[in-house]
Amino acid sequence: MKGQKIGYIRVSSEDQNPDRQLEGLELDRIFTDKFTGKVLERPSFIEMMGYVREGDHVYVHSMDRLARNLIDLRKTVQALNEKKVTVQFMKENLTFTGQDSPMAVLLLSMMGAFAEFELSIIRERQREGIKLAMQKGIYIGRKKYLSKEQTEQLKEMITQGMTKDHVSKYFKISRKTVYNYLNKD
């Protein structure tokens, strides 16, 4: 059974350009997400997982575009293979069909572990750089989203009984950010 050629593209933020991923491939359908890989509830990822059928071939630029950690990577490849969908990672030049040899499974685990390790090293360097910049007084953190007046308004809205969900939508911030503002002095 010959299936469709499906592309999955993910960039971490709205301002990143996804064009370089899967460039030059002729695909029947492309699913694109602009979310961090840590987020599993990516709309296009979920849509792709429901869309693919037996015989389809999913192309992904690299392993870290599909998942940010080894556990999620293995689960996703396994779920696709159980649907009899082939997964191909272009950068690593690896293809997984579900009929893979023990060596292919080992390669998936090792390459996924290396990708996860690389990400943790990048984050560690970033934390060290921020700490050093803070000590020198160069880095003062992210600019506050809400002004002092808006912060007071946010607190007043909560005091008056508005839900945090309503307040987050009103200010166009996440609920976590609402909690962060509420927990500040």
The residues carrying an active-site annotation are: 12
Structure tokens at 106: 């080992």
Using CA atoms, how far apart are residues 61 and 10, in angstroms rounded to an integer?
9
* Residue whose tokens read 């840590």: 38
Give the ranges where the chain is alpha helix by DSSP (H).
43-51, 63-66, 70-82, 102-135, 148-159, 164-171, 175-183
Q: Is 13 exposed, middle or buried (0-12, 13-18, 19+ CB in 10 A)?
A: exposed
- Pairwise CA distance, residues 28 & 26, whole Å: 7
- Quick one: CA torsion of 103, 26, 64, 71, rounded to 10 degrees? -50
| Token code pair at residue 67 | 């998942």
Q: How big is the chain, counted in residues?
A: 185
